[in-house]
Amino acid sequence: MTFPNGKQFALTIIDDTDGDQIENTRPIYDFLARLGIKTTKTVWTFPPRDNFKGLSLEDYRYRQYSKKLQREGFEIALHGVGSGRFTRQDIIDGLEIFHQFMGFYPKIQINHAQNPDNLYWGIKRFAALRPFWRWSHFHGDDPESIYFWGDYAQKYIRFTRNFTFKNLNTLKADPYMPYKERVKEYTNFWFSSADGADIERFNRLLNQKNIDRLIEENGAAIIFTHFARGFVRGGRLDRTFQRNMVYLARRNGWFLPAGELLEYLLKQGQGKEISLSDKLQLEIKWLLGKIF
């Protein structure tokens, strides 16, 4: 893959909003801004309705903080309208509130945990397995469900995340992304990410050796994480994280929000419909990564 202005690789981060407070993430975004690394942050429109914690756009300070990040070049995306049970009308209202507050509809949607409104999240093809798979009870794509919002997702959401892999070079792990799936009519494009879900996994993933390999491969990384999970303790950034990010920023990389990177990949010829055999290979690769 080639990138603009002679850049040797591309990298972005998607920060899911679970547990997010201004105090436990602002030091990270201030640090990223100083390094010139612009990334993507998901938000909730409404406060959680279950055991998850975190602020939403209903909080005035958090809303202003999110808008400030957007003005500084960070991308604001959606992690569902909230954590818990939200009906179709809740979701429609949430999308409109997002639009009202942010000035645009979200380009990226990340399914959240066990929300019943998740889109194509879990096992539906093999009914016997569903009781044993905690993420199988999703209804966002079911027109008969009170949680259905697939038509609105199709209208507004351009990219939806699917698999996570241990390989930093996401484009190597998933060479098809962003891709279409014929059987998933309510989504437009799917993409994968590299698993850096918390500070420990993030630091293992984005170490200097892996960064050098990403450069050698002219790769593209989309890292999934939660900045609220251990990146800031006692008001201070994790030192290993700081060291690795400074090393990264000094390399000849293209650091941009996920939506912009995915749009670039579409312009390079990606975005085709994935075959059943290629999708099966991704599923097997993902499963093996979970086992080993």
Range of the domain at 69: 4-242+250-291
Cβ-in-10-Å burial (0-12, 13-18, 19+) of 251 comes to: middle
Output the domain CATH number for residue 138.
Answer: 3.20.20
The predicted structure's pLDDT at residue 73 = 98
User: Does the reported pTM lie above 0.85?
Assistant: yes
What is the model's pLDDT at position 187? Answer: 98
Q: Into how many domains does the chain fold?
A: 1
Instruction: Answer for the pair 257, 39: CB distance below 8 angstroms, yes or no.
Output: yes
Distance CA 41, CA 226 (A): 9
In a 3-state reduction of DSSP, which class is residue 69? helix
Residues in the chain, pLDDT under 70: 123-136
Buried b (16+ CB within 10 A) or exposed e, 163-181: bbbbbbbbbbbbebbbbeb
Residues in CB range of 105: below 8 A, 6 or more apart: 95, 98, 99, 156, 157
Distance CA 240, CA 199 (A): 9
pLDDT in tens, 220-266: 999 999 999 999 999 999 999 999 999 999 999 999 999 999 999 99
Q: HSE, CB side, 13 Å, CA atoms: give it for residue 165.
A: 20
Q: What is the pLDDT of residue 126?
A: 45
